[in-house]
Amino acid sequence: MNGSDVAVIGGGAIGVCCALELARAGASVTLLEVGDEVGAGCSAGSAGLICPSHAAPLATRTGLLLGLRSSLSRDGPFALQLRPSLLPWIARFAAACTPARERHATAVLRSLSLASLALHEQLGAELGTGVRRLGTFNVYETEHGFDVGRREAAEHADAGLRPQVLSGREAAELEPALLGPVAGAVYYADELSGDPLEFVRVVGDAARYAGADVRTRTEVRALRSRGSRVALETADGPLTAGAVVLAAGAWSPRLASNLRLALPVQGGKGYHVEYEPSDQDPRVPIFLQEARVIATPLARSLRLAGTLELTGLDLSINERRIDAIERAGMRRVRALAGRPRLRVWRGLRPVSPDGLPIVGRPSAYENLVLATGHAALGFTLAPLTGRLVAQVIANEPTDHDLGPLHPDRFSRARASRRA
């Protein structure tokens, strides 16, 4: 295989945005995707929301309690498959669930999400990515949940978001597709949504037009250490690159296993179910907060998405999870009961233990940049991550402080424990 300035591993939302930014900056870019097309992994699914209002990290006290409770249930919204290899990750996760770290991580993710939302709008206007400003409708079925939602809305308002708090009756008036009774809702009118697979395909085409060599059906077998540099081994032979961007999602740790990096990313399995569209479908995405299920109206379907199972790289389908998603949707979304499924999808989100993405150049390797660990915010943060990666490779000042996202933060934690 021929060489290039930059090799990007992974053709999901993060990878194609990295390739587009780098190619537009004048770099010779080769994007390597193992699937038949870009977006073959977890970017093919998800709820399709671009929502700063849901920028809280997974690593919170609420998330920890939910995970422990749901691990005892076969159809809860969040599940941990307890196994020895997961225990160090769980320990890091629990350590991140302090009030101070939750507040800090939420502020970081909200700032990044707001900046990326603006870039999504620019790409949408320029390329026709299909994202639309429909807003996000957070629905609470219980009074306790609604109390939490109101407190979060007040915090988001202080940070510059524009939430609208609604009673249950007002929520039903705003969205006729919502079946009551519900305790209340919070509407974030400025947020975007769209089909993530359409986005990846459009941005991938734009990267090609900008000069990137997008190679699908190309397996990267390993990254090898060559002193302070890394080299690629592919199924088609070695690839020489001045810089390597590892954006392979949940498979990033496996590809980097020879590099002795601390890269604690777990695969978090999520699902969606799609149905034929109807004129009674929601006008805006409905996020059922207690069930953690989202109903998103797309151009060619209505999508129900939800659940997160930490199952490693297991891609089997758990029908109990699918049934739980459907039950939640049918309970609160009009005209959904009895509608046949079009398709069922599952994919693996790359989840870091502290809930923050891993973006930057590890100190051990001068030509490697990591871009993984985005969990459920990969679609939201893809345009900004692409820009930040391009700035790192060009040795330019980054638009945002990458300190909280730096890959070395896990190495430092491991060294501290050893000391």
Q: How far is residue 131's CA from residue 192's CA, in Å, rounded to a whole number?
A: 6
**Beta carbons of 136 and 53 less than 8 angstroms apart:** yes
In percent, the amount of the chain with pLDDT more than 90 equals 77
For residue 84, what is the DSSP state?
G
Tens-digit pLDDT profile for residues 105-142: 999 999 999 999 999 999 999 999 999 999 999 999 99
356 falls in which pLDDT band (50, 70, 90)?
very high
What contacts 171, CB < 8 A, 6 or more positions away? 137, 139, 178, 180, 182, 184, 185
Class of domain 4-135+190-418: alpha beta
pTM over the 0.75 mark: yes
Tens-digit pLDDT profile for residues 270-315: 999 999 999 999 999 999 999 999 999 999 999 999 988 888 888 9
Q: How far is residue 2's CA from residue 292's CA, in Å, rounded to a whole number?
A: 46
In percent, the amount of the chain with pLDDT more than 70 equals 93
**Beta carbons of 369 and 248 less than 8 angstroms apart:** no
Q: How far is residue 196's CA from residue 18's CA, in Å, rounded to a whole number?
A: 16
For residue 92, what is the DSSP state?
H
According to the model, what pLDDT value does residue 104 have? Answer: 93
Tens-digit pLDDT profile for residues 173-197: 999 999 989 999 999 999 999 999 9
Of the listed ranges 64-68, 180-184, 238-242, the least confidently predicted one is: 64-68
| CB-CB neighbours of 396 under 10 Å | 10
According to the model, what pLDDT value does residue 371 have? Answer: 98
Tens-digit pLDDT profile for residues 308-323: 888 888 899 889 889 9
The encoded tokens of residue 364 equal 């051990």
**Beta carbons of 187 and 279 less than 8 angstroms apart:** no
According to the model, what pLDDT value does residue 415 have? Answer: 43
Q: How far is residue 291's CA from residue 382's CA, in Å, rounded to a whole number?
A: 26
The H-assigned helical ranges of 128-251 are 143-158, 168-174, 196-209
Q: Are strands 266-275 and 302-310 parallel, antiparallel or unpaired?
A: antiparallel
Q: How far is residue 370's CA from residue 386's CA, in Å, rounded to a whole number?
A: 11
Beta pairing partners, 275: 302, 341
According to the model, what pLDDT value does residue 383 have? Answer: 98
**Beta carbons of 246 and 279 less than 8 angstroms apart:** no
Q: How far is residue 125's CA from residue 107's CA, in Å, rounded to a whole number?
A: 28
What residue spans define the domains of the chain?
4-135+190-418
pLDDT at 419 over 80: no
Q: Are strands 213-215 and 29-32 parallel, antiparallel or unpaired?
A: parallel
